[in-house]
Amino acid sequence: MSSVESHQEQLSQSDPSSSSNSCSSFELIDMDAGSLYEPVSPHWFYCKIIDSKETWIPFNSEDSQLLEEAYSSGKDCNGRVVPTDGGRYDVHLRERMRYAVYWDELASEVRRCTWFYKGDKDNKYVPYSESFSQVLEETYMLAVTLDEWKKKLESPNREIIILHNPKLMVHYQPVAGSDEWGSTPTEQGRPRTVKRGVENISVDIHCGEPLQIDHLIFVVHGIGPACDLRFRSIVQCVNDFRSVSLNLIQTHFKKAQENQQIGRVEFLPVNWHSPLHSTGVDVDLQRITLPSINRLRHFTNDTILDVFFYNSPTYCQTIVDTVASEMNRIYTLFLQRNPDFKGGVSIAGHSLGFPKYCYGSRRYTNTRGRFEETSTL
C-alpha cells in the first residue's frame, strides 16, 4: 500500500476535487454501502493502428481466458506463446506482442486490462497500462475496505485520477498551472470518464471460434494489392469472408454446431503481389515513370501493370510460381499447427487470381468457370 499512499501524498490540497463544481457535469448514482472488496476481472486486449490512430480491440472471451490462464500458470508464464484467433496469431506473453502466423503484418501490442478511460470525443475506452492499473486497483481496494473515498492519485504522465465513489471516477489531464486569468483545471475542459472492469464499458466481445476445422479455403487476390472498392488488403477482405462464414454457421447450423457435428471453414489469404514487386521491377518502372500526375502513375504501376506482367512469359511464370510456393508454405504450416485436420481444401481466386494455380502435387486449371484437375506433377 506504500506506493498508493506515496502517490496520494504528492498531490496538493488544491486538487480539482476541492472544487464544488468538479462533479457538476456528472450524474451521481446512489450506491449501496458495503465494505466487501471483490478483485477486478481482467480481460486481454490488443492494439491496432486504424486510420493512423491506436485502437484497442478485445480478444474474444475464449482467447482472453487462455491468455489469463497462461499468465497465472506460474514462473514460466512469461515464456509462453499462446495461439489466438483460431490459430492465426500467436501472443508472446513476455513481449506482450501479437504476431501473425500465415502472413506478414506489423506486430500488435497486447495488454492485460482492468482499468479504462474515455474522453468526450473518444469512441472507445482506452486501457491504462498494466502497472498503473495495479496502482488504481490498490487505491480502489483501500477505498472500499476503509469506506474512505475522494481518493486522488497521479499517473506517470502527471495526470490526476480521482475516485469519488465506485460509480464516479474521473481523469483530469495535466495542466501547467493557473495562468494570469486564474483558470483552474476544472475549467480546462470536461474530465475523462474512468471505468473499472471490462463489464462496465461498452465493447463487443465475441465468444470465439470452433476449434474443429472442416474445410480450408485459399483466397488468391487479383490485380494490385487492394482487393475491394475501399482499397482494403487481401487480409482484411478474407477476414470478412471468415466472419460471414461463422455467422452463417451460427444462424443456419446452430444445432449441428452445438452438437459438435460441424466445425468451421478456415480462410487464408495468398499474396503474390508483394513478392512480384520485390523482384526489382518497381525500381525499373520508377526510372521510366514521368513525374507528372504522380498518384495516377503510381496507381497504374502498382495495379494495372499486373495484367501486363501476367501476359509476359517471364513474369507470368513468376506469378504462378509465387502462388504455388505460397500455398505450399501456408498449407505445410497449417498442417503443423492443425495435425488432426482431415478436411477438404479449396481455392478461391478473384480476377487475375483466378486463371491458374498450382497446389501441392496437383495442378488445377480454370476450365469453363470451374477448377478441374488436369494433371499430377
Q: How far apart, in whole angstroms, are the C-alpha atoms of residue 32 and residue 347?
A: 59
Helix (H, G, I), strand (E, B) or coil at 359: strand
Instruction: Look at the block and give the residue holding cell 475506452.
Output: 125
> Considering 108, 245, 351, 361, which one is annotated as catalytic?
351
Q: How far apart, in whole angstroms, are the C-alpha atoms of residue 144 and residue 36?
A: 7
SS3 sequence of 250-282: HHHCHHHHHCCCCCEEEEEEECCHHHHHCCCHH
Q: How far apart, in whole angstroms, are the C-alpha atoms of residue 135 and residue 125?
A: 19
Residues 6+ apart with CB under 8 A from 74: none
Angle at the Cα of 38 (from 37 to 40), degrees rounded to 5? 130
Strands 108-113 and 115-118: unpaired
Residues 6+ apart with CB under 8 A from 193: 117, 118, 119, 169, 170, 171
Indicate if 12 belongs to the active site.
no
Q: How far apart, in whole angstroms, are the C-alpha atoms of residue 339 and residue 335?
A: 5
Q: Which three cell numbers stand for residue 293?
A: 500526375
Measured in degrees and rounded to the nearest 5, phi and psi for residue 8 equal -70, -35
Helix (H, G, I), strand (E, B) or coil at 367: strand
What is the Cα 301 distance to its own chain's centre? 31
Instruction: Look at the block and give the residue holding cell 480462410.
Output: 267
Task: Provide the annotated active-site residues.
Answer: 351
